[in-house]
Amino acid sequence: MTVKPLNDLLNWRYATKKMDPSKTVRQESVDAIIEAIRMTPTSSGTQPFEVFVVTNPDIRSKIAEAAGGQAQITDGSHTLVFAAWDNYTDQRIDEVVDLNVEARGDLPMLHAYYDNLKSNYVPRDAETNYAHAARQAYIALGVALVAAAEQEVDSTPMEGFNPDAVDSILGLKERGLRSVVLMPLGYRDAASDWLAPMDKVRKTRDTLVTEVN
């Protein structure tokens, strides 16, 4: 596979509306997308989310139903469900500390840094903490969208779904997680997708950017 310039990939990808149900995303591509999610930077390195890779057709049908019937979930071969921590806890942050010790040794600053983080985060209300964790999941979504394009895999970022329903389909509440965003993967059925031939709609650089010199 030849590596294309990033902006070419961003132009190629689009929020696919019609996936080809006869095609299954190559496992190497799924693995590359998951690895990109794993390598995504997060605030204080907490990676406060998990990703469910759903291939089971019955579960995907149920998720599609919870997403207003969006058929990319069933026509694609995999659906990634990004699920954020429902709250920050001492235990969850301690596990991050353990990972740091494992990778880098017991550095002097480490405990002070994460003790401070715990004293800031843990007393906050669960909703604020969930919202912070969900923002980290969105960073991973962005990286995953680019990784999928690099693999020439089509995808659709989706927040048009009922999170409570998806939480109950996957048993997320019991695991202290809440679904944030979905990302079906597949290969576009360009001939049947009204969006495939359309130009991108983007603000101009001038509208988006203010140069402060």
Ligand X SMILES: Cc1cc2nc3c(=O)[nH]c(=O)nc-3n(C[C@H](O)[C@H](O)[C@H](O)COP(=O)(O)O)c2cc1C
Compare residues 166 and 181 and give the one whose CB is closer to ligand X.
181
Minimal CB distance residue for ligand X: 160
Going by their DSSP bridges, the two strands 78-85 and 49-54 should be labelled as antiparallel
Residue burial 6-42, b: 16+ Cβ < 10 Å; e: rest? eeebeeebbebbbbbeebebeeebbeebbebbeebeb
181 scored as a contact of ligand X (CB under 6 A): yes
Nearest to 129 by CA among 70, 78, 88: 88
For ligand X, the binding residues in 140-159 under the rule CB under 6 A are: 156-159
Compare residues 70 and 79 and give the one whose CB is closer to ligand X.
70
Q: Which of 6, 8, 15, 127 binds ligand X (CB under 6 A)?
A: 15
Compare residues 41 and 160 and give the one whose CB is closer to ligand X.
160
Map residues 65-84 to x or -, x wherever contact with ligand X holds by CB under 6 A. Answer: -----x--------------
Map residues 108-147 to x or -, x wherever contact with ligand X holds by CB under 6 A. Answer: ----------------------------------------
Q: How many residues bind ligand X (CB under 6 A)?
A: 11
Compare residues 19 and 96 and give the one whose CB is closer to ligand X.
19
Residues with Cβ within 8 Å of 50's Cβ and at least 6 positions away in sequence, in order, are 83, 175, 177
Nearest to 52 by CA among 24, 30, 76: 30
Q: Which stretch binds ligand X (CB under 6 A): 14-22, 91-99, 102-110, 169-177?
A: 14-22
Compare residues 96 and 183 and give the one whose CB is closer to ligand X.
183
CB neighbours (10 Å) of residue 105?
Answer: 8
Q: Could you tell me what percentage of the chain is helix, strand and coil, using 3-state DSSP and rounding each to the nearest 5?
A: 50, 15, 35
Compare residues 118 and 132 and give the one whose CB is closer to ligand X.
132
For residues 139 and 206, give the distance between their C-alpha atoms in angstroms, rounded to a whole number. 24
Interface residues toward ligand X, by CB under 6 A: 14-15, 17, 70, 156-160, 181, 200
